[in-house]
């Protein structure tokens, strides 16, 4: 099972392959805030500091939101838009 680590606290969780990152943060009470939950507001943006290749490919809507906010879409992701496919570490 993939392991997701929340660098801010050092907490980690083993999750089912393909689980939404949004669900991981909510179920583990990690302090990620949400707004639209539809990839539009950018509130749930986190930096994937390790394992960028282990989260689902980015779709255009997510890339546009991150880019409009002036952030680097190669390392930042929206928790409400990506799925976990392997070990990764996120940081807010
Ligand atoms: S909650 Fe709005 S982009 Fe994720």
Check if 36 has its Cβ closer than 6 Å to any atom of ligand 1.
Answer: yes
pLDDT value, residue 37? 98
**Ligand 1 atom 3: the closest Cα is on which residue?**
39
Distance of CA 71 to the CA centre of its chain: 14
**Single pTM value for the model:** 0.96
Check if 39 has its Cβ closer than 6 Å to any atom of ligand 1.
Answer: yes
Instruction: Per residue of the chain (92 residues), give pLDDT as tens.
Output: 999 999 999 999 999 999 999 999 999 999 999 999 999 999 999 999 999 999 999 999 999 999 999 999 999 999 999 999 999 999 99
Number of H helices, E strands in the chain: 2, 5
Number of other CB atoms surrounding residue 66 within 10 Å: 22
pLDDT value, residue 13? 98
CA 32 to ligand 1 center in whole angstroms: 10
The ligand 1 atom at the shortest distance from the C-alpha of residue 79 is: 4
Domains and CATH numbers, the chain: 3-91 (3.10.20.30)
């Amino acid at each position: 099972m993939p392991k997701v680590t929340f660098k801010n606290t050092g907490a980690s969780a083993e999750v089912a392959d393909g689980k939404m990152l949004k669900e991981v943060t909510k179920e583990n009470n990690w302090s990620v805030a949400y707004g639209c939950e539809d990839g539009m507001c950018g509130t749930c943006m986190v930096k994937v500091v390790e394992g960028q290749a282990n989260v689902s490919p980015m779709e255009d809507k997510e890339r546009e939101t991150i880019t409009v906010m002036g952030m680097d879409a190669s390392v930042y992701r929206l928790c409400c838009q990506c799925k976990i496919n392997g070990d990764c570490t996120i940081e807010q």
